[in-house]
Amino acid sequence: MKVSCTRSSLSSVALVFGLILALGYVSESAVANPNGLAKQINPGLQAGFYNGRCRNKTLDIQAFIEDEVKNQYQIDQTILPAFLRLQFHDCFVIGCDASILINETSAEITAGANAGVRGIDFIDALKVKVEAKCPGIVSCADIIAICTKAVLKLGGGPDYPVQTGRRDGTRSNAQDVDLPSPFDVAQSFAFFKPKNFTLAEMVTLLGCHTIGIAHCRFFKYRLYNDTSEYDPNMDENLRQKLMQTCPQNDVASDNEAFLDQSEEIPHIEKFDISYFSQILSERGLLPIDQAIGRDPSTNTTVSDFVKDPTSFNTKLAQIMVKLQAVEVLTGVNGNIRKVCSKFN
């Protein structure tokens, strides 16, 4: 299922729909330390991995990358959902190895599920700057992880010590991209459980829908009672509003609506728990969004986030570290690309 997570008309795959179905195996769960941050969950990754590794031993290359992201965010805040999607879609398919960045015929980026993925040009340009300061040291996979963490914090999401030490993959095939889209909790969790993720973690990751938009074609059938997927329990005020956005007989256009259906602008533009409040009020836009609010197995987690808003960022910080460690290449595996969009 394609869902755009920018405010533009670009279509994209839902951030977490693909994530639910393709997260790689992680052998150890993230656990919180007394500061609420995620501990190391892969022996090949560590916070501050690049300290002292550049030819200028005092250069903080991670801080340099974060500053570049901050500068870009001030120009274009839609890089937040763009980088979240890029990170998720990279990790979904054979792990977090920057394979999604490869620009070749039949590479991952050419798969339909990756249509509209943004941020690759920015990372390619950033890699040039990084190579000038610290040649042959920083992987493209780590640049994605650092950029995602930096922009998430800028958008009101959690801060956490991003763990680095990933190496880049040497394979990128469109045929490896298999990202079907779940519609209910059971279907979603059937893919989460074998990957060592819990229901609560699934709900937390779906909280990334606090930002971004979805096109009419992915929820329009819920609005009209002559369709098999009509949802009579949707908030009626929301239904009437969405019917104006997505007219039943208008097949030529494919308008868009915010995933977070709060009436207040600060909520739909900021990473917060408004998304969870909305689905408890039967105002979820996508089927899986509303499903986690209704299903008894996930409703408690949704309610807990609404009752304790700070817990969402705490939990998400832990799970982002876990996500970014999915099937990573470290040590002598993989390599460090000179150009992120090309194999060495």
Annotated binding site for substrate: 180
CB 122 within 8 A of CB 50: no
Sequence-distant (6+) residues with CB within 8 A of 229 are 221, 222, 287
Residue showing tokens 């009419």: 216
Q: What share of the chain is helix, strand, coil (3-state, %, to 5)?
A: 45, 5, 50
CB 249 within 8 A of CB 256: no
Cα–Cα distance measured from residue 319 to residue 152, given in angstroms and rounded to the nearest whole number: 13
Cα-based distances in Å from 284 to 86, 252, 274, 311 = 24, 25, 11, 21
Task: Choose the catalytic residue: 2, 85, 89, 267.
Answer: 89
DSSP string, 31-98: -B-TTSPBPP-STT-EETTTTTTSSSTT--HHHHHHHHHHHHHHH-TTHHHHHHHHHHHHHHTTSSSS
Tokens matching residue 52:
């002292």
CB 309 within 8 A of CB 272: yes
- In the annotated binding site for heme b, the residues are 209
Q: Which residues face 213 on adjacent strands? A: 258
Residue showing tokens 């839609």: 78
215 is catalytic: no
Residue 251 burial class via C-beta count within 10 angstroms: exposed 0-12, middle 13-18, buried 19 and up: exposed
- In the annotated binding site for Ca(2+), the residues are 90, 93, 95, 97, 99, 108, 210, 260, 272
By annotation, the residues acting in catalysis are 89
